[in-house]
């Protein structure tokens, strides 16, 4: 059935005049594709346990500032 239909009917798409000559526009040299890479892990700080101490200090500082705001508010 399908084979007979294709033999008898021309179903090719007719391109409009000038439509098959498209110009290609390339991005500039500074353009990058894809997602930005993650920042590298500070291995030296992780192994030396300095990274954990810094993270703990940041969390404690943030927590203390929140607690001061709560105390001042009440």
- Both structure tokens of 66: 């929140």
Q: What is the pLDDT of residues 28-68, one digit of tens each?
A: 888 888 877 878 888 888 888 898 999 999 999 999 999 98
Instruction: Give the span between the Cα atoms of 31 and 43, in whole angstroms.
Output: 30
What are the backbone dihedrals phi and psi of residue 73, each rounded to the nearest 5 degrees, phi first? Answer: -70, -40
Q: What is the pLDDT of residues 9-39, one digit of tens each?
A: 887 877 666 655 677 888 888 888 887 787 8
pLDDT at 1: 78
């Amino acid at each position: 059935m399908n084979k007979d239909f294709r033999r008898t009917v021309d179903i090719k798409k007719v391109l409009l005049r000038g439509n098959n000559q498209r110009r290609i526009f390339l991005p500039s040299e500074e353009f990058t594709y894809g997602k930005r890479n993650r920042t590298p892990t500070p291995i030296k700080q992780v192994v030396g346990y300095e990274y954990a101490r810094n993270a703990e200090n940041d969390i404690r500082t943030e927590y203390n500032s929140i607690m001061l705001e709560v105390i001042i508010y009440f």
